[in-house]
Amino acid sequence: MDNTNPTQPNKHIEAIVVMTSSGDKDAVEKWFLKRSFACIPMRAGFLVQGDDAAFERAFSTRVGLPLKDIKLPVPTELSPHVVSIEIPRLPSYGSKP
């Protein structure tokens, strides 16, 4: 796979899911697991992992290789529990921030 081409399929994408203070973590985890994501609990919510196809199916958003932060829409079912879902941009190794 050519990691410099943003149109190539990406087999590993991570997003940060930030929960509301009263959000139901079990419900959110079940939603992501049902859609073939891996979920890693964090204090603020979850780190979710999947390929670009899983993200595109779940969020109707083309992801590719994120060259900038991507804020995903919070699905209606998750809105009582989730504040935000964001895919951080890929780091540029060897360059200055």
The CA distance from 15 to 2, in Å, is 21
The identity of residue 92, as a single letter, is S
Helix (H) or strand (E) holding 60: none
The CA distance from 87 to 13, in Å, is 8
Please tell me the predicted confidence (pLDDT) of residue 12: 83
Alpha helices in 16-85 (DSSP H): 25-34, 52-59
Q: List, for residues 34-88, the tens digit of each pLDDT value.
A: 999 999 999 999 999 999 899 999 999 887 666 678 899 999 999 999 999 999 8
The CA distance from 91 to 75, in Å, is 27
